[in-house]
A and B are shown apart, each in its own frame.
Chain A
Amino acid sequence: MAISREEVLHVAKLAYLELSEEEVARFQEQLSAILDAVSKVAELDLSDVPPTSHPLEIANAWREDEPRPCLPLDEVFANAPDRDDDFFRSPPA
């Protein structure tokens, strides 16, 4: 299952990852090999098998919908690279 250079670049864009030329070439080779190995899952007949998304059968684990104190704003922003008053600042979208 070879993955093309274009596919590597497409996925990198989806994943918000800037890649160097060297990384593009290396990931193309490595991801092809890994996809080859994991494609083994397609060998099984799974037509009557439901998917498992979670190992326990838990549904609707709610708590009471009551307001509780949250973190003070100074703590919320404690690790922010760029704070502007009560906002996180980022370059323009």
Chain B
Amino acid sequence: MIDTLRLTAERARELLRIGEVSGAELHAAYRAAIEEHNGELNAYLTLAEGPGATDGVPIALKDIISTRGVRTTAGSRILENYVPVFDATVAANCKAHGLPLLGKTNTDEFAMGSSSENSAFGPSRNPWDPSRVPGGSGGGSAAAVSGGLAPWALGSDTGGSVKLPSAFCGNVGLRPTYGTVSRYGVIAFASSLDQVGPVAKTVRDCAFLYGVISGRDENDSTTVDVPKVELPEGDDLRGLRIGVPRQLNDVEGIEPGVKGAVAAAIAQAEALGASVDTCELPLSVDYGLPCYYLIAPAEASANLARYDGVRYGLRSQGDSFREMAMATRHDGFGDEVKRRIMLGAYALSSGYYDAYYGTAQKVRTVIKREHDALFEHFDVLVSPTCATTAFAVGAKSQDPLAMYLTDVLTIPSNMAGLPGISIPCGLSDGLPVGLQLIGPQFAENTLFKVAHALETAIGFDYVPERLR
């Protein structure tokens, strides 16, 4: 009997190696779990065919990642019947490492959202409490891992779409340094921010999967060579300097349970030998969100211009090309995508470009410099991943600005291209609390080391309480 709720990818790999289970049995166990729980969780949009001859640990991919021959929707009506004819580099990397595809997971449409409620195919649900959201945009990947429907998964993170769902569902999620993971074949949202990252039950699984997907890719000219990934061991944090940015940790509206769990984790780090000091990020937190909501929509409005009903995707009727394209985009895009395209097109339009997009790019420099200055004194910065735990389905779906605020703690470091990992650090009213660790560019190995030490010290049980 394979307990998919508890089985880590590392343990699964070991069971395969010693011949305790076969690849087919492992795959079948996840398929059975999906059969039983996907109706409730809506984590998967499309299931892949069987594992074939591959004897590896299966994986789920966010439906923003192109998979040859397997429908890829980006959570949008406009791509409802789109079947890619090539694999994204990260999908090809998984195949090359013998990780068979379980299926494609739900996402806010074009990864735009913080709850997965913007999916054209209905929201995913949080395995800890199905009346709540799993976070977004990668809610499907997070719900699948937490609910035992996948041992690990890939998401993509533009403003927090790996880190936030990982926090809400009690998973470990990494947003890697910009440029370390190929974006080739990943359906584009905001190209200067998009980055694929792993979602797992443990830090070691997260690190292993990062090793599978990272590295320079000649099909993505923004990728660079990446330091060799070290699987973390031990719990010695002596010599490590941890900064606690006041503005991230005392953010408005922070739940007492979140604050308490994060404080306890910081105390654990100190007990393991790290030095801890308060520090300041005065501008990044105040100006990060406005900066993001100019730059990301501007890039999105350009990236989504390609959906015009000609080469792929939905086509609606129209007598001229313009009428056809406008009708296609009206019928195919959901509310939030239209809102961001409008916002971005406005910020880029003649007469407003300098005031909005140009200014936001300068603010981005300010945010980057503010973080760079802190990393002269600290190895890692810590904060909550989100000020709250998972909220109820529907709680913010009618108020775009309230939804945007969900990402206020994950956005600043993303603007600076920095890596961040979210690990569960406790419960608040029975729901997981995420701890965000941020490092300088290419410091993934440091993040894994600290996160692994804290994970061991905290001893969080990642199986949702109601399913134990």
Residues of chain A whose beta carbon lies under 8 Å from any beta carbon of chain B: 3, 7-8, 10-12, 14-20, 23, 27, 30-31, 33-35, 37-42, 44, 46, 49-56, 58, 61-63, 71, 75-76, 78-82, 88, 90-93
Chain B residues near A56 (CB-CB < 8 A): 178-179, 222, 224, 417, 441
CA of A78 to CA of B72, assembled, Å:
14
The residue in chain A whose Cβ has the minimal distance to the Cβ of B414 is: A55
Chain A residues near B224 (CB-CB < 8 A): 56, 58
Query: Does B363 reach chain A (CB closer than 8 Å)?
Result: yes
Question: Is there contact, CB below 8 Å, between A91 and B361?
Answer: no
Question: Is there contact, CB below 8 Å, between B341 and A15?
Answer: yes
CA of A29 to CA of B366, assembled, Å:
30
Cβ contacts A to B, 10 pairs, < 8 Å: A14-B349, A15-B305, A15-B342, A31-B343, A37-B404, A38-B360, A42-B355, A44-B362, A71-B86, A81-B310
Interface residues of B in 220-234 (CB under 8 A from A): 221-222, 224
Question: Is there contact, CB below 8 Å, between A91 and B319?
Answer: yes
Query: Does B278 reach chain A (CB closer than 8 Å)?
Result: no
CA of A37 to CA of B361, assembled, Å:
17
Partner of A16, one of B308, B314, B355, B401: B308
Partner of B222, one of A17, A31, A58: A58
Question: Is there contact, CB below 8 Å, between A78 and B85?
Answer: yes
Question: Is there contact, CB below 8 Å, between A17 and B342?
Answer: yes
Question: Is there contact, CB below 8 Å, between A91 and B318?
Answer: yes
Chain B residues near A15 (CB-CB < 8 A): 301, 305, 329, 341-342, 345
Question: Is there contact, CB below 8 Å, between A16 and B329?
Answer: yes
Interface residues of B in 352-366 (CB under 8 A from A): 355-356, 358-366
**Stretch of B167-175, B261-269, B320-328 with 4 or more beta carbons under 8 angstroms from chain A:** B320-328
Question: Is there contact, CB below 8 Å, between A46 and B359?
Answer: yes
CA of A57 to CA of B361, assembled, Å:
15
Q: Main SS of chain A's interface residues?
A: loop
Query: Does B381 reach chain A (CB closer than 8 Å)?
Result: no
Q: A78-B85, A93-B320 are in contact. Are A52 and B368 (CB under 8 A)?
A: yes
CA of A17 to CA of B290, assembled, Å:
24
The residue in chain A whose Cβ has the minimal distance to the Cβ of B192 is: A54
Closest CB-CB distance, B308 to chain A, in whole Å?
7
Chain B residues near A93 (CB-CB < 8 A): 320-322
Q: Which of A11, A12, A38, A51 has the most CB of B within 10 A?
A: A38
Q: Which of B81, B283, B324, B362 has the most CB of A within 10 A?
A: B362
Question: Is there contact, CB below 8 Å, between B330 and A19?
Answer: yes
CA of A82 to CA of B311, assembled, Å:
8
Question: Is there contact, CB below 8 Å, between A91 and B365?
Answer: no
Partner of A79, one of B313, B318, B325, B417: B313
Chain B residues near A50 (CB-CB < 8 A): 362, 365
Question: Is there contact, CB below 8 Å, between B310 and A88?
Answer: yes
Question: Is there contact, CB below 8 Å, between B346 and A81?
Answer: no
